[in-house]
Amino acid sequence: MSTEIKLPDGAPDEVVTHALVRDVDLSAFGFIGSLALITLDNGEDHNRPNTFGVQSLTELNAAISQALSRKPSAIAITGKPFIFAAGADLSALSFLTTREQALAIGKLGHDVFRRLGELDIPTFAFINGLALGGGLEAGLHCTYRTLASTAFTALPEVFLGLVPGWGGATLLPKMIGPERAVQVIMLNALNNNTMMKAKDALALGIADAVYEPADFLERSVKFAADILSGRNKIDRVDYSNDPGWEKALATGSAAAFKKYGGASMDAPARALALIGQAKTATRSAGFDAEDQALADLTMSDPLRSSLYAFNLIQKKRKKVEGAPKSALARKVTKVGVVGAGLMASQLALIMVRNLKCPILMTDLDQERVDKGVAWVHAELKKLVEKGRMSQESAHRLAGLVTGSIDKSHFATADFVIEAIFEELSLKQTLFKELEKIVGPECVLATNTSSLSVEAMTQGLEHPERVIGFHFFNPVAIMPLLEVARTSTTDDATTATAISVGKELKKTMVITKDAPGFVVNRLLTRFMGEITDAMDEGTPADVADNAMRSVGFPMSPFELLGLVGPGVALHVAQTLHKNLGPRYRISPTMQRLVTEGVKTFYIKSEDGKLIANPAAVALIEKGDKPSTAQEVRLRALNALAEEARMMLDEGVVATAAEIDTCMLLGAGWPMILGGILPYLDREGISESVCGKRFHPKGVASLL
């Protein structure tokens, strides 16, 4: 096989995953013979997973040949501690310049992996840890698979704009049946790249056995010996005539449409086509089709966009742009949470789970405090019931969460965050009260979504210790945390806040203390254009669905129902006051809040979303309707204009930070690669602002 694949200049050097071969004598396990064990190891620390690039595949191919030369009874492949393999090395894909290069990489992976499934002796995959994409596909080529109970597996390719292109789309449907294959390849991937636990993979038929990590390798070797000796026999099912093929493909197609609204459907469509072909295709024909699909998708905009978004998120998780030196951070041993409503309670829960220090909640009266503390305790109990936390751990954490109406208990806190009603005067009064109680180095944080943090510091003796710490709802799930510095916030305060955010496992972006920060400012401007179009006479369904072609999983009015008209109106009013008339106040929104109507949609008796008659009755009756395309262009133009203003004002330092915020805080589709690259590609950036936000070529963005 040829491995002469020359990557373009500028492509990052591959971190090679070596393939090391050793012999394992099986006589101690009741079988006279040997097992050639190939161990994948990239030589990096445990945080860097094994991946497959051109050199790594070449080494694995050589290792298979070396193993065969030893005349073993079987060959097995496993990974370094806790990691099997995380799939293809994606770092160089955005640098490929020709389809032929992409096709060659696909063929090389097939040529190497298929050897594991076409030898004259059995092969085993001892999947001892994380196995994603091509990592799991390597295992699928083997005759048998064992999994460590702590291992997670997935085929995330469709999520990134690819297909399982090294055998997964062809082998898996025949191995576990079409419905289960669609679940793994499509539904899991589209559901924010859900990974399977070992027990799930076992139930689906992907694994033949699951063992605890302490003696995983020893028990896997015994499993192999039992297979070879005939003491254990695994029956396989032929799914060629399974009646569920058409239903499975229809389910996958519906899930893709729901996720992308008809936009960027190339990867899901190609994946479904490959799954459908697997029913009758030979192995070689299936692999050839995977090669072609992989080559086409690799050279497409959606894949390049997804890689930009994926790599950007990985980069921002590791490094916070503009953060002070971490050595300046102060140790946080006790946290105060002012407020005991739902948002405050969520903050208390995430703090105690990750910081594992005392958390004190307070509110206006004991009843509210008790309700907030009880909510946290109940959520910990649910984690135990779901098997995600031990009873002992939950009991210990619950004991750390207490409540009081007496704020004097904050005297020993190192970090206090408020999540009270969004009223500036209330927050100003609160901070003045807290300043007299807490120690001189205690950080005072606000979870405000739109108010001026600096305005909250007026009259304080130490405004330098106040910082914005804006979470997104639901707190446990949404990965973004906007950290807003005022003109007086000092480096020690910022470093401490960043340290806390890292402990909470959040991706952070430091923003200027500007109205709405990043996400709410852009979302409110965007939502305002949609509601304005409706108020002007555009039918509500036309306005609401105008952005479906972009690929949002949730329409603007569905999002409004999640956020709540009251919150949305308050943010719009704040931005209107601070940023001017381009943030218009919708009369329809005002009526919804006044009348207590909380959603544009309600569920019908059959569970479908339908227009809420109470909301429809309150819509402003304008006489200047727009088409869906006009609404779409209007909203995108507004986003481009606002993003350019934010960069000019220094709200964030780079365009990439706006992309990060919208990807992680607003659910901007990964497959579009971030809001600003999308506006660049559509020509909107230059049309509205006179220039692009990013240089041409996604590779140059990273």
In this predicted model, what pLDDT tens digit does every residue of 372-387 receive, in sequence order?
A: 999 999 999 999 998 8
Of 4, 14, 157, 423, which one is the catalytic site residue? Answer: 157
CA distances from 149 to 40, 196, 214 (A): 19, 11, 10
Give the C-alpha separation, 350 to 357, whole Å: 11
Judged against a pLDDT cut of 90, whether residue 247 lies above it is answered with yes
Beta bridge partners of 466: 444
Residue scoring higher pLDDT (1 or 562):
562
Give the C-alpha separation, 283 to 270, whole Å: 17
Instruction: Summarize the confidence of residues 176-200 as an average pLDDT.
Output: 94
φ, ψ of residue 249 in degrees (nearest 5): -65, -40
- Picking from 649, 673, 317, 670, the residue whose alpha carbon sits closest to that of residue 481 is 317
CA 565, distance to chain mean position in Å, is: 27
519-650 to CATH, choices 3.20.20.80, 3.40.50.150, 1.10.1040.50, 2.40.50.140 = 1.10.1040.50
Both tokens of 400, joined, read 């750390």
Omega within 30 of 0 (cis) for the link into 268: no
Secondary structure element (H or E) that encloses residue 415, with its range: strand 415-418
Angle at which helix 301-318 crosses helix 655-665, to 10 degrees, equals 90
280-315, pLDDT tens digit by residue? 999 999 999 999 999 999 988 778 888 888 888 888
Give the C-alpha separation, 626 to 206, whole Å: 51
Give the C-alpha separation, 521 to 665, whole Å: 12
* Cβ neighbours of 105 (radius 10 Å): 28
Give residue 4's pLDDT.
61
Give residue 3's pLDDT.
57
Give the C-alpha separation, 359 to 354, whole Å: 11
Name every residue whose Cβ is closer than 8 Å to that of residue 302 and which is 6 or more positions away in sequence. 161, 264, 266, 267, 671, 672, 673
Report the CATH number of the 326-512 domain: 3.40.50.720
**pLDDT above 90 as % of the chain:** 81
CATH class of 18-299: alpha beta
463-476, pLDDT tens digit by residue? 999 999 999 989 99
Judged against a pLDDT cut of 50, whether residue 698 lies above it is answered with no
Query: Quick one: pLDDT band at residue 6, thresholds 50, 70, 90?
Result: low
Name every residue whose Cβ is closer than 8 Å to that of residue 84 and which is 6 or more positions away in sequence. 40, 50, 78, 125, 127, 128, 129, 130, 131, 135, 139, 151
Least confident of 107-116, 344-353, 541-550: 541-550
- Active site annotation includes 4: no
Query: Quick one: pLDDT band at residue 618, thresholds 50, 70, 90?
Result: very high
Q: Is residue 117 within 8 Å of residue 111, measured between CB atoms?
A: no
189-238, pLDDT tens digit by residue? 988 789 999 999 999 999 999 999 999 999 999 999 999 999 999 999 98
Give residue 702's pLDDT.
38
Query: Quick one: pLDDT band at residue 26, thresholds 50, 70, 90?
Result: very high
Give the C-alpha separation, 119 to 76, whole Å: 12
Instruction: Summarize the confidence of residues 407-415 as an average pLDDT.
Output: 97
Give residue 222's pLDDT.
98
Judged against a pLDDT cut of 90, whether residue 183 lies above it is answered with yes
Give residue 388's pLDDT.
85
Query: Quick one: pLDDT band at residue 46, thresholds 50, 70, 90?
Result: low
- Picking from 416, 305, 278, the residue whose alpha carbon sits closest to that of residue 359 is 416
Query: Quick one: pLDDT band at residue 2, thresholds 50, 70, 90?
Result: low
Task: Indicate the domain borders of the chain.
Answer: 18-299, 326-512, 519-650
Q: Is residue 470 within 8 Å of residue 449, measured between CB atoms?
A: yes
Give residue 307's pLDDT.
84
Q: Is residue 299 within 8 Å of residue 99, measured between CB atoms?
A: yes
Query: Quick one: pLDDT band at residue 547, thresholds 50, 70, 90?
Result: confident
φ, ψ of residue 309 in degrees (nearest 5): -65, -45
Bridge-based pairing of strands 196-197 and 152-154 is: antiparallel
Judged against a pLDDT cut of 90, whether residue 10 lies above it is answered with no
73-112, pLDDT tens digit by residue? 999 999 999 899 999 988 778 778 889 989 999 999 999 9
Name the average pLDDT for the chain. Answer: 93
Give the C-alpha separation, 287 to 307, whole Å: 24
Judged against a pLDDT cut of 70, whether residue 1 lies above it is answered with no
Judged against a pLDDT cut of 90, whether residue 326 lies above it is answered with yes
Q: What is the DSSP letter of 379?
A: H
Give residue 700's pLDDT.
39
Q: Is residue 69 within 8 Å of residue 18, measured between CB atoms?
A: no
- Active site annotation includes 682: no
* Cβ neighbours of 87 (radius 10 Å): 28
Query: Quick one: pLDDT band at residue 8, thresholds 50, 70, 90?
Result: low
Give the C-alpha separation, 410 to 335, whole Å: 8
Judged against a pLDDT cut of 80, whether residue 531 lies above it is answered with yes
Of 44, 118, 137, 441, which one is the catalytic site residue? Answer: 137
647-677, pLDDT tens digit by residue? 999 999 999 999 999 999 988 887 788 899 9
Name every residue whose Cβ is closer than 8 Å to that of residue 454 and which is 6 or more positions away in sequence. 463, 486, 487, 488, 513
Give residue 699's pLDDT.
41
Judged against a pLDDT cut of 60, whether residue 348 lies above it is answered with yes
φ, ψ of residue 350 in degrees (nearest 5): -70, -35
Give the C-alpha separation, 592 to 594, whole Å: 6
